């Protein structure tokens, strides 16, 4: 009989995963970087409680192996990280800073912590601005920064749990006349003059 192997046999789960536009594919809620040139392709993947393995679709040979990552986090080799911030990301950060002081600070913190993989969170904050308005989102971002939880998820949950009533329309400038004055003026202008006697 032969001696037992040093390591026990590893049982892997198998599946196919699509490489997203950011160059990563998802396994159990975590994201793993595929080699360049595979965006949009479907790769065979093996995983167990310790490793995730990306296989070549034609040869079925191992292309990359990663240690298992926590849900919501990314595994990216250093050589695949961008050397400078792309222009589109800089534009997103400028838009966030223009939307509000705390919105800009939160989006900058997301980018600082997660790098380019934080762009999803910044886009999420942008969608919250359209849904809830700049004032409510800026307040939520201030709370996130104060509690040291600069994440899109915190801001979204904060807004869901603390909805603000819509602002009522009100007279905001004394130079703007009441709508009734405009109505009365239009009625006076459109009134026909009385018929003159013959």
The secondary element (H helix, E strand) that includes residue 130 is helix 119-132
Integer Cα distance of 125 and 136 in angstroms: 12
Which pTM does this prediction carry? Answer: 0.53
Per-residue pLDDT reduced to its tens digit, 27-77:
998 999 998 888 889 999 999 888 999 999 889 899 999 999 888 888 888
| Neighbouring residues of 44: CB distance < 8 A, sequence distance ≥ 6 | 14, 15, 16, 55, 57, 60
Please give the domain boundaries of the chain with CATH numbers for all domains: 13-80 (2.40.50), 87-161 (no CATH)
Per-residue pLDDT reduced to its tens digit, 159-198:
999 876 555 445 555 667 777 887 888 888 887 665 555 5
Integer Cα distance of 1 and 20 in angstroms: 48
The secondary element (H helix, E strand) that includes residue 33 is strand 30-33
């Amino acid at each position: 009989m032969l001696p037992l192997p040093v390591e026990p046999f590893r049982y892997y789960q198998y599946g196919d995963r699509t490489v997203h536009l950011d160059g990563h594919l998802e396994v159990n809620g975590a994201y793993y970087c595929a080699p360049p040139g595979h965006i949009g392709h479907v790769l065979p993947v093996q995983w167990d409680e310790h490793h995730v393995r990306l296989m070549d679709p034609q040869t079925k040979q191992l292309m990359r192996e990663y240690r298992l990552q926590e849900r919501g986090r990314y595994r990216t080799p250093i050589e695949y990280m961008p050397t400078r911030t792309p222009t589109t990301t800089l534009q997103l950060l400028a838009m966030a800073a223009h939307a509000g002081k705390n919105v800009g600070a939160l989006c900058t913190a997301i980018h600082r912590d997660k790098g380019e993989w934080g762009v999803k969170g910044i886009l999420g904050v942008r969608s919250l601005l359209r849904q809830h308005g700049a004032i409510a989102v800026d307040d939520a971002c201030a709370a996130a920064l104060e509690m040291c939880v600069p994440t899109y998820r915190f801001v979204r949950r904060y807004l869901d749990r603390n909805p603000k009533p819509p602002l009522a329309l009100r007279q905001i400038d004394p130079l703007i006349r009441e709508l009734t004055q405009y109505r009365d003026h239009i009625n006076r202008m459109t009134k026909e003059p009385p018929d003159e006697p013959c």
